Structures are given as structure tokens and as C-alpha cells.
Amino acid sequence: MLKFIILSDLHLVPEGKLSHGLDTAERFELAISFVNQHHSDAAFVIINGDLADHGEPAAYERMKAMLPKLTADTYLTLGNHDNRDNFITVMGKDHVAETGCADHVIDQGDQRIIVLDTKEPEAGGAGRLSEAQLAFLSAALEGAGEKPVLIVLHHNITFLGVPTDCIILENRDAFIDIVKRHDNVRQVISGHVHMSTSGNYRGVPFCTIAGGHYNIEPTLGAPDITFQTPVPRREGPGQLAVVLSDKTSTVVHMENYIDRHLVMAPALFDMHRS
Ligand SMILES: [Fe+2]
């Protein structure tokens, strides 16, 4: 049985700063302790984008200093809040593939995990995979042969009926067209939306995890939902995914590692504050 952990949406900030009133470095510290204490048997940890809140070099420096505390091997990829150039400058080119992005193929036991970097600076918060990344995905799926495959990427691959539907993976159909040439893709796991969901898009099962920043109560049922539609409630759980996978089954557990009772004041989301 393969076991690995996915953390997402750290939103780290430079020393002395907060993100919407949250000390995201302290929250990452709690995630590290939790994983080391409760999941020391995990084969590796993937951190699935939005590593930094505003892509600042000082935020990546902070992450670089904290990462060695995680006892498991770590794979990093990027989300819309990241800055690829700053990430590479601080973390080094070892974190990027021949695509120029933080893409990875992880072979562990009899399984293959493909990690894709969906940061697209021109997409205004949405995600996109380049032609080179689609070719990388295609080759990685070909190379998997009969192995079960899981795909991890920051942006969600379809609409969830929530205000962030305008910033999903833009070229999701090109992605799915490649995935559907194979019958061994078990699950697509995203972060980005700060909520836990599961579903199916064009026959491909997906889920999203809430991640480490804050957890959003979904805005459902309101007519004409837009990006400006108010979020009913944000609360404090930090959430990770524990993935258990073997020859015949794959399970994604959503596990909260920070107290769930912190409810964040709406004033913390005044857009003039950081
Ligand atoms: Fe995020």
C-alpha cells in the first residue's frame, strides 16, 4: 500500500507579515509537526501550489528554511499566487522539469504520480498547461504502462458551482483529452479552491483539498454567482490529504490538522488589506 501526503495552499508571507490575519508560517509549522508525528510512514509529501501568498522571494526563503523539518521527501509545484522566477531563484532549478515548470513524475512501488504546475502569469488567477507540459503529461502517461496513475495539480479541472469558477484550469479539455487516452488514471487531486469537494469531469474522478490557508464555506444556490459573490464564512482548519493507494483501490482522506473553530472576521477580507 502506497501512502503519501498532499499539503496545499500554504500562502507563506515574509517574516513579520500576516495573510488575512493568519500567521501562515505558523500554520505550515503545525502541518510539518502533524505530518512528522502522525504520518512518518508516508513515502513522500507533495506541496500543491500557492506556496507563497504573493510570490515574494522572502516567502520562498522562509519555506526553504522550514522544509528540512519535514522528515519525508518533498515535491513542490506552483499555483496562481506563486511567482515562478522568484521560486526558481530561491529554490533552485532542481525543482523544475524540462518544461521549465515545477512538474514531476514520481514512481513509487507499482504506481506513478504525475505532478503538474498550472501557474500561468497571463491567466489572471486561472491556470493553464503549456504545450510542453501537455506533451510531458502524455509521455508520463505512456511511460506508466499498466501502473495506476494519480495526477496532482493546483487548479481544479472543472466548475464547482462556486465564485472561483472563473479561475479554473483554462485548458482542462486538452488535459482531459490526454488523460482519457488511458484507463489507469485513478484520481486527479487539486487545491486552489480552499474547500474539499469530489466529483467527476468527462469520466475522470477528481477531488479538491482545502489546504493550509483557510477553509471556505461554498456559496451555493445563489443566482448569478460571480467572483464578487460574498463568501458566507471562512474558518480556520488547516487540511491535508492522506492518499492510500494499491493495485486495486485509491482512497483520499481529508484530514484537518488545525482546530476547526476559528471563524475569520469578514473585515479581514477587506481588499485594501493584505
Ligand atoms: Fe490558495
* Ligand 1 centroid – CA 86 distance (Å): 18
Confidence (pLDDT) at 250: 97
DSSP letter for 19, please: B
In a domain, 274, yes or no: no
| Least confident residue range of 24-33, 48-57, 233-242 | 233-242
CA angle 161, 214, 40 (to 5 degrees): 115
* Ligand 1 centroid – CA 260 distance (Å): 18
* Ligand 1 centroid – CA 7 distance (Å): 11
Encode pLDDT of 41-85 as tens digits: 999 999 999 999 999 999 999 999 999 999 999 999 999 999 999
* Ligand 1 centroid – CA 142 distance (Å): 31
In a domain, 73, yes or no: yes
Q: Are 166 and 225 in contact (CB under 8 A)?
A: no
In a domain, 104, yes or no: yes
Dmax over Cα atoms in the chain, in whole Å? Answer: 51
* Ligand 1 centroid – CA 20 distance (Å): 12
The strand pairing partners of 216, in sequence order, are: 234
Into how many domains does the chain fold? 1
* Ligand 1 centroid – CA 46 distance (Å): 15
Q: Please report, for the domain that includes residue 112, its CATH number.
A: 3.60.21.10
Confidence (pLDDT) at 236: 83
Encode pLDDT of 91-112 as tens digits: 999 999 999 999 999 999 899 9
Confidence (pLDDT) at 178: 98
- In this predicted structure, the answer to whether residue 274 has a pLDDT above a threshold of 60 is no
In a domain, 177, yes or no: yes
Confidence (pLDDT) at 49: 98
Confidence (pLDDT) at 262: 72
With cut-offs at 50, 70 and 90, classify the pLDDT of residue 2. very high
Q: Record the cell numbers describing residue 59, joined without a space.
A: 516567502
* DSSP output for 88-138: HHHH-GGG--TTSSS-EEEEETTEEEEEE--B-GGGTT-B---HHHHHHHH
- In this predicted structure, the answer to whether residue 126 has a pLDDT above a threshold of 70 is yes
In a domain, 117, yes or no: yes
Encode pLDDT of 128-179 as tens digits: 999 999 999 999 999 999 999 999 999 999 999 898 999 999 999 999 999 9
What domain range includes position 203? Answer: 2-269
Confidence (pLDDT) at 269: 84
In a domain, 249, yes or no: yes
Helix (H/G/I), strand (E/B), else coil: 41: coil
With cut-offs at 50, 70 and 90, classify the pLDDT of residue 125. very high
In a domain, 159, yes or no: yes
The length of the chain in residues reads 274
Confidence (pLDDT) at 45: 98
Encode pLDDT of 210-225 as tens digits: 999 999 988 887 667 8
